[in-house]
Structure 1
Amino acid sequence: MSELQVVRGEMQPWTDHTTPRPALAALLTDVVPANRRTLILGPHAPQQIESVLAHSADVTILVRSVADAQQLGEDFGPCLQVIAGALDGLEVEPYDVIIATDGLDRVLGYDSADLSWTERLAALSRLATADAVVVLALENEFSLLNLLDSRPAHERHGDDEWRPLHDDPTRPVSVDQLKAALPWRAEVYADFASRTFIRADVAGSARPGELPTRLAIGALESVDVPLLSPPNEGVDTAARAGLLASVPTGWLAIFGAQPSHDIYTQTAQAVLTADEDLTGWSTTSTIGPATPDSSAPVELPYESLLLFDPSVVPATVPPGVSVETVLFRLAAAEDVPAFRKLAADLGEWVTTSRIIVRWDDIVFDGESFAYGVSPWVAHNEVEKDDLLAAAWVRFHDRLLGQHRRHPWPPWMLGDDLVSAWLGMSGIEPPEQLQATSPDTAPATAQQVARGKELAAALDVVLETRKATIDVRTALAEAEEAKQELFELKGHVYGLERTLGFRNKAMKTRENRIRELRGQLQRLTTAHERIRDSRTYAVSRVIFHAAQVRNPKTVARKVARRIRKR
């Protein structure tokens, strides 16, 4: 354990929360020079510290929490010099490298001076040599997630993120302001949720459906923050306006070193880097900073259906937009013939493979299709029908989940709509089987069952925010529930009115039946009284006598009976 040094501004008891950021660790590996005197400013995850220690011989870290400083000393030992205190209390010789990827918000203590962001930057500049390498992060107050966050401002930071300043007019809120505020000529990267870092000029030229935009959307979709609306629409709109570099969660300014790649993004436990060239994007995947070999697939412990295999990512991804973007546009324009033609072309292009097909990652350049940067595969080869079913199920969820406009009837949802798209792709539905029980599933449900299973597994590994419902979705669902309630009330009123009419009719019938029963009883009583009368008996004798046609024969029979008696 290294000896702990304490300067003015330390905080105790206290701890600052940090999260690992593999993409940032890979970027630091590229920019941190070897064997230079280095200062890590502010709380950093152990993964970032290890990436710096791998290149620098003399590393010092300054954290304001004494508890964090003691823990760092125990974890890294004498190879890391740990100082507990605030930035304004540090008085040392200038450093050759300064790493402040946590920004300048958590570098002051309780008793520190009320320094603005510009004053903190000046204090940091005094700690850097003339030719120093500086990596400085800045949180974007104008970020899309910050604008869409449904929580009040005072509830967005917990006690482990105590920040003395929340409203600072000197803080930059754009790329141009950040470059103008820095005393050095710096390269700026757009930071999307600490999962994807895109060079600012590359992000500024990206358009909806292109690789940088798709990676930015994927990073923001994984953030578990209650939002007013899904981030997809905002990111696409910003990209269409050339403002994608203006709406990330933060920026990363790099001075004195040139990063090797245009894009750094986290995919599960690997880091994908990409560089733009004349043929598209050159990509490379590495599994962790200590494992340069990315050829062997790695099975995730939480998902048995899919494997993470960076070797399936093509070395060159062509330029173009995603198939999902084109399908969304055709559906919004209600161009069903063009949608059907594109679906048919996709059905011809997809073949039996281990690679899970995602329309949001398949690149379309107007004539041909190509795989994107998705590294997810199945254990064994999956039939073409199942791959198409999984792709259309995922497209169905994203189309309806984002409340996008489409030309199909609102009651044509779920398996029916997915089955229709499969038919457009050339996959005929199976023959209907005779039902053996009342709950037998239809053939369409059986057809897309495997696709649903693959799509659900893909959502798990991609950490899609399905459990978090944004306010727009909640309001839309509330409006749908209100409309459904209104319709059900009308239906209930109709049923009540019908039941009222039937009740009246039943009462009328009951009264009529009672009247008929009373009449029947009176007639029965009168009939019995008549049958018991002597007149009725005489009439019966006369009636029977009138039936006699041979009186002599009757007389002989009567005489014979009299003699017997």
Structure 2
Amino acid sequence: MSSKVQVVRGEMQPWTDHTAARPALAALLSDVAPANRRTLILGPHAPQLIEAVLAHSSDVTMLVRSVSDAHQLGQDFGPCLQVIAGALDGLRSEPYDVIVASDGLDRVLGYDSADLSWSERLAAVSALAAPDAVVVLGLENEFSLLNLLDSRPTHERHGDDEWRPLHDDPTRPVSVDQLKSALPWPAEVYADFGSRTYIRTDVAAAARPGELPTRLASGALESVDVPLLSPAAEGVDTASRAGLLPSIPTGWLAIAGARPTHDIYTQTAHTIFTADENLTGWSVGLPENAPQEADSTAGSVSFDSAVVPRAVPRGVSVESVLFRLAAAEDVPGFRKLAAELGEWVADSRVIVRWDDVVYDGESFAYGVSGWVAAETVEKQDLLAAAWVRFHERLVGQHRRHPWPPWMVGDDLVSAWLGMSGIEPPEQTQATGPDTIPASTAQVARGKELAAALDAVLRTNPTVDVRTVLAEAEAAKHELFELKGHVYGLERTLGFRNKAMKTRENRIRELRGQLQRLTAAHERIRGSRTYAVSRVIFHAAQVRKPKVVARKLARRIRKR
């Protein structure tokens, strides 16, 4: 049963505003939405977010500018949701106790609407809010790291299906402080990283490289499919080192009139978990209905919320420490840490990731990664998978390290395994061009696990421009060396060609001499002189003439 759609000024048809499911935001809305309050959902929102609001109130109105979207929502939710098609400036209503505009104010005006600035739109929202209303307002960050590193021109970053009238609006906030000062209510602001992780801005400001908020923010940004000029992880670490992590998210979420329960809301696979900072580290919470074995795209790897620790100690990731040691070319320190990791890792189903193993200077602990294999994996293969992922992030991002270029690849991973206490494979002589090196066979299972983990983590496969330029420079250098090698081969072939011609002429001369000698030999063998010489030769071989004479006489008498 569908509800009747009300139409106000500013509706758009035909048109569709696309939305994306944001489970972490739905969990946050469930914590801040008060029960049984008159609620307005402003702008396009995914069904999951609408359901999170409907779970707390039965009097919910939703305003969308697309008429077709409004009719579809009316069919999907029926009388539970009152749908209005039109623009923000065309809505006239009594004040609402709750206003949810997590999509922001960019998609709330129509073709016929006045060209309202962001502050004027905010004033219109404020006019619809009751004095003690709970307001949830999203804002896209123009200063976001992904926006700064986006390799596309500005006019190509939105498709034809995204009508955004805002261009250069000086009233639009571009920082947390500007957003707080622009709002007419005191608000708590969360940094939105790729719609997958929401971190309280004061918590994000205190986070440093390798700590839990920074790791979650980096992982969320890496999952966004945007062509970049350079890797996002490096920019996240630099911003967190400067205390500017809340300045670079993809957006912000301001919450006025209510205080969220948790410091962090994040999505991993199909599971949402929260984190709160305490004196010893972080307390991790998962919803009661979290799936224990979430389906994955890789078959061999799945997410098991049961293995996620409920307490994560304060510390930095092992990966950040290894990066620091490699950049400083501190091989002894790197070797020592690798040996300690080798002693700590044991046979387990949990896939080991150096970017989510916490190191406090003395001991190690698992982070919030709950990815597990179908069966128990041997220690050697777990270490191989961890080192393979570390190799991709160290060498693939062109970070500084002390190892020579000819050692990069499986040989380097095998060397790190040796540092971790794994015996190196026995080197065997190649029996053919297709013989697999011993180091490749040693890390084969680890590569499979690392590839499966990257698949389920949805790491952005887009190659950044800086990496492309570095690879182009390396290819240019290799081409120069190959040209020199080809020139040397051409000179060598020229010299060898001349030597072959000299030898060919000499062979022809010898062949002519042989033919002449053969002809002379045949003439000699056919002469009478040669026949007489052969008779004389055979006669000279007779040692007992009398015996020969008696035999000849005997034969004559017989005749």
TM-score bracket relative to the smaller structure: over 0.9
Matched AA of 2:453: L
2:413 corresponds to? 418
Identity of aligned residues (%): 78
1:289 corresponds to? none
2:161 corresponds to? 160
Residue 4 in 1 paired to residue 24 in 2? no
1:191 corresponds to? 192
Tell me if structure 2 keeps the 8 A contact 1:190–1:250. yes
* 1:315-373 superposed Cα distances (whole Å, 9 cap, x missing partner): 21111110000001101111010001001111111122222111100111111111111
Moved more, 17-26 or 274-283: 274-283
1:353 corresponds to? 348
Tell me if structure 2 keeps the 8 A contact 1:323–1:360. yes
1:501 corresponds to? 495
- Three-state SS of the structure 2 residue aligned to 1:161 is coil
The answer for unaligned runs of 5 or more in structure 2 is none
Moved more, 383-392 or 72-81: 383-392
TM-score under structure 2 length normalisation: 0.93
Question: CA 1:211 to 1:55, structure 2 compared with 1: closer, same or farther past 3 Å?
Answer: same
* 1:432-478 superposed Cα distances (whole Å, 9 cap, x missing partner): 57878764534433332222222111111111123x21111222222
Tell me if structure 1 keeps the 8 A contact 2:524–2:530. no
Matched AA of 1:498: T
Tell me the distance in 1 between the aligned counterparts of 2:43 and 2:483.
60
Tell me the distance in 2 between the aligned counterparts of 1:237 and 1:10.
44
Task: Give the one of 445, 460, 468 matched to 2:440.
Answer: 445
* 1:393-418 superposed Cα distances (whole Å, 9 cap, x missing partner): 11112111211111111111332211
Tell me the distance in 2 between the aligned counterparts of 1:186 and 1:121.
14
Residue 323 in 1 paired to residue 324 in 2? no
Tell me the distance in 1 between the aligned counterparts of 2:131 and 2:324.
52
Matched AA of 1:82: V
Question: CA 1:113 to 1:548, structure 2 compared with 1: closer, same or farther past 3 Å?
Answer: closer
Residue 293 in 1 paired to residue 306 in 2? no
Question: CA 1:355 to 1:529, structure 2 compared with 1: closer, same or farther past 3 Å?
Answer: closer
1:513 corresponds to? 507
Residue 94 in 1 paired to residue 70 in 2? no
Shift of 1:431: 4.3
Give the length in aligned residue pairs: 557
1:403 corresponds to? 398
**In the TM superposition, what are the counterparts of 1:164-313 in structure 2 within 5 Å?**
164-286=165-287, 292-294=288-290, 297-300=292-295, 302-313=297-308
* 1:494-547 superposed Cα distances (whole Å, 9 cap, x missing partner): 22221111111111111112222333444555566677778x679959987997
Moved more, 117-126 or 493-502: 493-502
2:476 corresponds to? 482
* RMSD between aligned residues: 2.8
Tell me if structure 1 keeps the 8 A contact 2:200–2:264. yes
Tell me if structure 2 keeps the 8 A contact 1:299–1:306. no
Tell me the distance in 2 between the aligned counterparts of 1:497 and 1:436.
32
Shift of 1:301: 5.0
Tell me if structure 2 keeps the 8 A contact 1:297–1:307. no
Tell me the distance in 1 between the aligned counterparts of 2:246 and 2:541.
122
Question: CA 1:548 to 1:33, structure 2 compared with 1: closer, same or farther past 3 Å?
Answer: closer
Tell me if structure 2 keeps the 8 A contact 1:313–1:373. yes
Tell me the distance in 1 between the aligned counterparts of 2:4 and 2:458.
41
* 1:172-226 superposed Cα distances (whole Å, 9 cap, x missing partner): 1111111111111111111001000111111111111010000000001111111
Residue 78 in 1 paired to residue 73 in 2? no
Tell me if structure 1 keeps the 8 A contact 2:197–2:216. yes
Tell me if structure 2 keeps the 8 A contact 1:96–1:131. yes
**In the TM superposition, what are the counterparts of 1:58-137 in structure 2 within 5 Å?**
58-137=59-138
Tell me the distance in 1 between the aligned counterparts of 2:122 and 2:174.
15
- Three-state SS of the structure 2 residue aligned to 1:411 is helix
Tell me if structure 1 keeps the 8 A contact 2:296–2:303. no
Tell me if structure 1 keeps the 8 A contact 2:207–2:245. yes
Question: CA 1:90 to 1:515, structure 2 compared with 1: closer, same or farther past 3 Å?
Answer: same
Tell me the distance in 2 between the aligned counterparts of 1:549 and 1:342.
95
Tell me the distance in 2 between the aligned counterparts of 1:541 and 1:412.
76
- Three-state SS of the structure 2 residue aligned to 1:160 is coil
Shift of 1:304: 2.6
Shift of 1:51: 0.5
Tell me the distance in 2 between the aligned counterparts of 1:549 and 1:157.
114
Moved more, 400-409 or 426-435: 426-435
Shift of 1:7: 0.5
Residue 15 in 1 paired to residue 10 in 2? no
1:332 corresponds to? 327
Tell me the distance in 1 between the aligned counterparts of 2:506 and 2:467.
57
Tell me the distance in 1 between the aligned counterparts of 2:20 and 2:262.
23
